Structure 1
Amino acid sequence: MSEETKNSLREFQEYQQQLRMILTQKTQLEMRLAETKKAQDEISKHNPSEVYKIVGQVMLKTDSDKAKKGLDDEAEMIDVRLKSLKKQETSVNDKLKAIQEKLEGSFKPPAQSGAQ
Structure 2
Amino acid sequence: MSEETKNTLREFQEYQQQLRMILTQKTQLEMRFAETKKALDEISKHNPSEVYKIVGQVMLKTDSDKAKKGLDDEAEIIDVRLKSLKKQETSVNNKLKAIQEKLEGSFKPPAQGGAQ
Q: Answer yes or no: same fold by TM over 0.5.
A: yes
Show CA shifts across 1:52-73 (max 9, x none).
Answer: 0000000000001000000000
**Structure 1 residue 80, shift from structure 2 partner:** 0.1
Aligned length: 116
Q: Distance in 2 between matches of 1:7 and 1:115?
A: 37
Deviating beyond 2 angstroms after TM superposition, the runs of 4 or more aligned structure 1 residues are none
Point out where structure 1 has 5 or more consecutive residues left out of the alignment: none
Q: How far has the Cα of 1:114 moved from its partner?
A: 1.9
Separation of aligned partners in 1, 2:83 and 2:39: 22
* Aligned twin of 1:39: 39
| C-alpha separation in 2, matches of 1:83 and 1:4 | 34
User: For residues 1-116 of structure 1, what are the structure 2 equivalents within 5 Å?
Assistant: 1-115=1-115
**Matches of 1:93 and 1:81, distance apart in 2:** 18
Cα distance in structure 1, aligned partners of 2:28 and 2:21? 11
Instruction: Determine the C-alpha separation between the residues in 2 that align with 1:76 and 1:47.
Output: 21
In the aligned structure 2, how far is the partner of 1:48 from the partner of 1:99? 55
Partners of 1:3 and 1:99 lie apart in 2 by 15
Over residues 26-69 of structure 1, what are the superposed CA-to-partner deviations in whole Å (9 max), with x where a residue is unaligned?
Answer: 00000000000000000000000000000000000000100000
Cα distance in 2 between the residues matched to 1:5 and 1:112? 22
Report the TM-score when normalising by structure 2. Answer: 0.98
SS state of the match for residue 87, structure 2?
A: helix
Tell me the percent identity: 95
Deviation at 1:112, TM superposition (A): 1.0
1:59-112 alpha-carbon deviations (Å, 9 max, x no partner): 000001000000000000000000000000000000000000000000000011
How far apart, in 2, do the equivalents of 1:30 and 1:85 lie? 11
